[in-house]
Structure 1
Amino acid sequence: MTDAFGAITWWGFSPAIDFQEKDTCTQSEDLKLDRTTDSVAEELNMLLVGAGDVRHVLKTISRAYRHTKKQLNFYIIENSLELLARQMLLLSIVTEVPNRMGLQEKMELFLEVFGNSLVRQQTSDYIIEKANLFIKMVTDPDFLASSFPELDMSSLKFKERDQLEAVFKFWRNPDNNVFDISVYWDNRVRKHMEQRYDSRHNCFDWDYNMKLRERGASVINSKQYGVWRDTGVAFEARDGTYEISNKTLASGLVLKQGGVAIKQRGYWGDIMCSPYLAYGIESENKELFKTANGTHTRTAADISEFNILSLLHELSKKENYVPQERKEGKEQSDSATLTEITEEDENEGSEDKVDNGVNDNENTNKNGTERIALENVKIYFLPLGSTTEIHKKSKYKELFNLVYLSNSMVHNLNESLKIVMADGATLVLETAKFMLELTEEQYTQFVNKVTGMAQKLGCKPSPQCDAKKDSFSTYTFLGNR
């Protein structure tokens, strides 16, 4: 991958998906019969390699009520502990109880942490608060089991847990000057642009019109995209000043200086594709994609807000999200606020535990911490880069009903992965459609190459992937038959 994509995947380069919709065994009667045990019908074991963020996990668990009830087990492998730390933080935000944080506030906080280089003071305070809590979780297994029972970190090595603790200690450092992301961001842009830096805004406009628009992401607003490319700020709430570095986007990278390897902390993520791709270019609400005079009336930021609100609502209420305007039968005007939520709406769930999908026992853990319990969900953090090692453990043999690999991790598509896939398992591969520095020919070649790798592994396309249109290629594994 080239420099603009970065060395760490803070956000994925594709929209969030519901894995139960991708699971070919839930869509084909003949494949259902091939599953070897009755327990498989009650569980969906999913291996996520290099997903980067929690977009797929969040969408899958939020929409679980739409499918036959199953135990959802996510096994997550990343190449950086900072990614696991961020996933803990984002999951903590979505499971905040209504009497502590309303839907609107929760959505704004989630997107701010997820996609902004700079955050508000209250957001920085929240990160510090959670960092202290996470340190206790990492260092005390009993505390983790009681406060976040859906999360299992027992497979992490002791060294990795120590390093994860160090990440959280860095987050809680009150010194805002210890990590100046604006400087790091500008340095990355300067290095990428080189002699084009002074005309960078024209370059941003070119990338938007000739790449993003051409690849089906025209709903991303050109002005918002340009601001993000220049500053790293993608989402802005209704109020607040963005001036504090988002420490959750800090990571280390080994650089060579004068032949000597030096680890340097900085911002080493994406500076070209944008966090809008995860939640801002697809939605069930087609009204968000209306155009007037050939221009979208909504932006990717608007769509991201709606989608996160929808997922948060579905997670707690177990029902489809309907904006207040449509509930009242009113037509949304182009200038209307997308989701105007009143204080009464935000607190509604705290008064009715049944409607909120939780009860007192689920809300309050033994240690007194409050959070929304994730019913029938278990998330396992596996050791860094362990994709080529897990096949050596018998407990993973033919365990996974679904395997997901990001486009930067497809090199792990080999015989060792074959051993851990169950009969009829679904293989989901992220394409390179939104890797903007690749040409159309290159990302088409990428799909052809990974399709060949998947077929060699004993997988068949289901359906055939269109490299120019599809963000994912999906396959059914037949190799163990």
Structure 2
Amino acid sequence: MSGSCGGTRMAFYVLENNLEAVARHMLIFSLALEEPEKMGLQERSETFLEVWGNALLRPQVAAFVRAQADRLARLVPEPHRLAEQLPWLSLSALKFRERDALEAVFRFWAGGEKGPEVFPMSRLWDSRLRHYLGSRYDARRGVSDWDLHMKLHDRGARVIHTREFRRWRDTGVAFELRDSSAYHVPNRTLASGRLLSHHGERVAARGYWGDVATGPFVAFGIEADDESLLRTSNGQPVKTASEITQHNVTELFREVAAWGRPTANHGTPEQVHGEGPGTAPSPEFTVHFLPLGSAQTLHHKSCYEGRFQLLYVACGMVHLLSPDLGACVAPGGHLIVELARYLVDLRQEQLQGFSARVGELARAAGFTPQNQDRPSETFARFYKSGDSACLRSHAAVQSTTPPPGALVPPSVQPATPPPDALVPPLEARNPPPEGLTQPSEGKTPPSERLKLPSESRASLSEVQAPSGFLCAVACESLGHTWILK
């Protein structure tokens, strides 16, 4: 992120489509902002990699998750204590039932339901992989190699090593920082809920419906500022994606620690550290979590209209991009949309169709494509010109937002039940017992443009994690623009 606000605080507004993802954000932020005296930089980086990218954890990392989850479960229902101990976090926009469900998620992570049988991750992972591969399951090693070499490598992720990708596909462990036998505790933060139909009745079930196709390596592990990490020898990368990921995450956490450290320019010690005991230092940013499904109603509130300088939309939330959402971005603001480049089940023509549709939606929302010498295949970048506001009503008439299935893979369609249906206890069921199937009502058929290759029996909703991500950045001074790099 680049820009200068001359000491002005930044506000990040995050919209997800399920509360488990909100809980993971809170856990990861609390880890990233942990005091150096309590957890060193290397330990913090390794803990992040395991919680974020591994299906199985080491016992000490699992103990950290339980402790943090117990702490967050106690803070969520008490706004005053939450503001004192986590001043960077705001849940004030969430509905009461969403906060109750969020507390229940943390209680489950904290071990309110004892025993690995409550969330048997290894069995759930294998079951999901079987469902995704279908008849190709017995040839899963060959399928894994094909997806890696013929798809991910061809799309720029050449540093991902065959061995680490196979290990992740088989076990869900992407980052093996210690001996393989040390990873045996289920990562409960990857659990999510769904409403399933059982004998004509809807029941809530907990399981794993996340990614088993692409892997977490593409997020931090295929690019680096240090060119030596990308060096090759005899045509093969010297470093693996796991090693590059660990380096990048460590440097990121180092910058976060330096950025958040109080300095003389940030006020007096009393202003920085607070007047009372136990008060956390005042951060330079605040993360606000918005209610689920509120993207199309934000513009109705004057506090959001024309406020944001940057809008980031993940590929799983593209269907929310509309003139109403565009009205929340200030003139001169920027829009960044993640493209579907690394979804291995999409062919090249499908990727091109997705990118074209993103451009159509962005223009209908009042944005103009940025001129780039070398357009990115990973992100589409736009800006909002000063006269976009007067064109909004015309764009709303000319272009309506089609249903999610017509824009993006079915994975972006909400797969999580309403918050009040996610309160534990929920029985882990994956695959569902005999006669237990997902309800068919309310489904939007996927677009022909984004139909999966015929050789895959699973839909992308069975490949991608049931979550999306939409983030808007606001700066107290509207005279500055923040650009995500």
TM-score bin (small chain): 0.7 to 0.9
Aligned 8 A contact 1:253 1:268 in 2: no
Do residues 203 (structure 1) and 111 (structure 2) align? Answer: no
Q: Which residue of 1 aligns with 2:413?
A: none
Q: In the aligned structure 2, how far is the partner of 1:407 from the partner of 1:365?
A: 44
1:358 CA drift (Å): 12
1:258 CA drift (Å): 4.5
Q: In the aligned structure 2, how far is the partner of 1:254 from the partner of 1:365?
A: 47
Partner residue of 1:225 out of 160, 165, 168: 165
Q: Which residue of 1 aligns with 2:298?
A: 390
Q: In the aligned structure 1, how far is the partner of 2:359 from the partner of 2:373?
A: 9
Q: Secondary structure at the match of 1:304?
A: helix
Do residues 301 (structure 1) and 242 (structure 2) align? Answer: yes
1:243 CA drift (Å): 0.4
Q: In the aligned structure 2, how far is the partner of 1:463 from the partner of 1:257?
A: 52
- The 1:358–1:195 alpha-carbon spacing in structure 2 relative to 1, beyond 3 Å, is farther
Q: Which residue of 1 aligns with 2:451?
A: none
Matching residue's letter, 2:160: I
Matching residue's letter, 1:78: E
Q: In the aligned structure 1, how far is the partner of 2:133 from the partner of 2:24?
A: 29
Bigger proportion of residues as helix: 1
Aligned 8 A contact 2:323 2:366 in 1: no
Matching residue's letter, 2:332: G
1:359 CA drift (Å): 11
Q: In the aligned structure 2, how far is the partner of 1:306 from the partner of 1:115?
A: 15
Q: Which residue of 2 aligns with 1:312?
A: 253
Q: In the aligned structure 1, how far is the partner of 2:169 from the partner of 2:277?
A: 43
Aligned 8 A contact 1:208 1:222 in 2: yes
Partner residue of 2:118 out of 160, 163, 178: 178
Q: In the aligned structure 2, how far is the partner of 1:79 from the partner of 1:408?
A: 10
1:229 CA drift (Å): 0.8
Q: Which residue of 1 aligns with 2:399?
A: none
Matching residue's letter, 2:94: L
Aligned 8 A contact 1:464 1:473 in 2: no
1:375 CA drift (Å): 3.3
Q: Which residue of 2 aligns with 1:276?
A: 217
- The 1:461–1:177 alpha-carbon spacing in structure 2 relative to 1, beyond 3 Å, is same
Q: In the aligned structure 2, how far is the partner of 1:85 from the partner of 1:360?
A: 32
Aligned 8 A contact 1:465 1:474 in 2: no
Q: In the aligned structure 2, how far is the partner of 1:279 from the partner of 1:461?
A: 26
1:176 CA drift (Å): 2.5
Which runs of 5 or more structure 2 residues have no equivalent in the other structure?
A: 391-485
Note the 1:235-274 alignment, pairs <5 A: 235-238=175-178, 241-274=182-215
Partner residue of 1:216 out of 156, 167, 174: 156
Q: How many residues end up aligned between the 2 structures? A: 383
Q: Which moved more, 1:404-413 or 1:170-179?
A: 170-179
1:79 CA drift (Å): 0.5
Matching residue's letter, 1:315: V
Matching residue's letter, 2:379: F
Matching residue's letter, 1:270: D
- The 1:73–1:81 alpha-carbon spacing in structure 2 relative to 1, beyond 3 Å, is same
1:92 CA drift (Å): 1.1
Q: Secondary structure at the match of 2:343?
A: coil
Note the 1:38-437 alignment, pairs <5 A: 42=5, 69-173=7-111, 174-238=114-178, 241-318=182-259, 368=278, 373=281, 375-437=283-345
Aligned 8 A contact 1:204 1:226 in 2: yes
Q: Which residue of 1 aligns with 2:480?
A: none
CA distances 1:103-152 after superposition (whole Å, capped 9, x unpaired)? 11111001000000000111111111111110122110010010001100
Q: Which residue of 2 aligns with 1:48?
A: none
1:377 CA drift (Å): 0.5
Note the 1:15-26 alignment, pairs <5 A: 18=1, 20=2
Q: In the aligned structure 2, how far is the partner of 1:99 from the partner of 1:365?
A: 21
Aligned 8 A contact 1:465 1:472 in 2: no
After TM superposition, the score normalised by the length of structure 1 is 0.75
Q: In the aligned structure 2, how far is the partner of 1:243 from the partner of 1:317?
A: 34
- The 1:397–1:191 alpha-carbon spacing in structure 2 relative to 1, beyond 3 Å, is same
Aligned 8 A contact 2:323 2:364 in 1: no
Q: In the aligned structure 1, how far is the partner of 2:219 from the partner of 2:257?
A: 21
Which runs of 5 or more structure 1 residues have no equivalent in the other structure?
A: 1-17, 21-25, 27-40, 43-67, 320-348
Q: In the aligned structure 2, how far is the partner of 1:291 from the partner of 1:421?
A: 43
Matching residue's letter, 2:115: D
Aligned 8 A contact 2:76 2:103 in 1: yes
Q: In the aligned structure 2, how far is the partner of 1:360 from the partner of 1:133?
A: 27
RMSD: 2.5
- The 1:84–1:360 alpha-carbon spacing in structure 2 relative to 1, beyond 3 Å, is farther
Q: Which residue of 2 aligns with 1:345?
A: none
After TM superposition, the score normalised by the length of structure 2 is 0.74
Partner residue of 1:480 out of 389, 392, 397: 389
